[in-house]
Amino acid sequence: MLMPLAMLLPCRRAVVKNILGGRGLVRRLTELGFTPDAEVHVLKSPPGPILVSVRGSRVAIGWGVAMKILVEVVE
């Protein structure tokens, strides 16, 4: 089941499936490592930015951007 990255609880892992947004946002997130089938791990969620581990890097993104990244939870 797909869900926004912003809804993923801390310590859960998921796989990126789609990014909803314009070319600029998609390009920026792709450069940060949010590519299809990339595994992400939420380290910290709101309040404040969402801290995510993706492809060996830690990335902080805003809640609005995290709502545009669709992921599938890995059990």
**Mean pLDDT, 10 residues at a time, the chain of 75 residues:** 94 95 96 96 91 96 97 93
Q: Specify the pLDDT at position 7.
A: 94
Task: End-to-end CA distance of the chain: give it in Å, rounded.
Answer: 12
The CA–CA distances, whole Å, from 26 to 1, 5, 15, 47 equal: 21, 15, 16, 24
Report pLDDT for 3.
97
Which residue range(s) make up the domain with 46? Answer: 2-73
Amino acid making up residue 38: A
Q: Which of 62, 58, 8 lies closest to 16 in space, CA to CA?
A: 8
> pLDDT at position 46, please?
81
Domain count, the chain: 1
Can you read off the two tokens belonging to residue 60? Answer: 């902080």
Name which of 28, 59, 33, 26 is nearest 51 in CA terms.
Answer: 59
**Residue 6, domain CATH:** 2.30.30.90
